[in-house]
Amino acid sequence: MQEESGRLRRENKRLERSYHQAGLEERRVADLARSQPGTSEQKLASLKAACERLELENERLKQDLEAGQADLSSVRDVVAHAAPSRHQRSSPSIGMGHNKVVAAASSDSATRLQRDSSMPLLRRSFC
């Protein structure tokens, strides 16, 4: 009987310590939970701002892509119109003019890419 009562006292002390520790942990978690909503709101605002920046950048890239496609289309048109005159070879100035137009269109595209700092890989490959 005394062994049983000693074992129960030890168990009771262990449970009281656990109860006290659980109370401390509960207060710590409650304090942390109260401090987190502001942090969560800040993170959410930061993520929303990043999303808006990315949407603006995507729109700008879309416009740049459309401009590049228009440049490419105009170069193709020049090449297509100059192709029949190459076969005729009636005037050497036509061939020279064609090269100047193609070079100017390519130069415009390269300049646009050079100005755009968000496209470093394209700038390195074209310039």
Please state the domain extents for the chain.
2-126
pLDDT of 17 strictly over 70: yes
Question: 110 falls in which pLDDT band (50, 70, 90)?
Answer: low
Q: Which long-range contacts (CB under 8 A, 24 or more apart) does 31-37 make?
A: none
For residue 62, is pLDDT > 90?
yes
Type of residue found at 78: V
What pLDDT is attached to residue 106?
54
Greatest C-alpha distance within the chain: 123
CA distance 106 to 97: 14
| pLDDT tens-place string over residues 41-60 | 788 889 999 999 999 999 99
| 0.85 surpassed by pTM | no
Q: Each residue of 66-102: pLDDT tens digit?
A: 999 999 988 888 888 887 765 555 544 444 454 555 5
pLDDT value, residue 126 = 44
The pLDDT assigned to 11 comes to 92
Q: Which sign, positive or negative, has the C-alpha torsion 17, 23, 26, 31?
A: negative
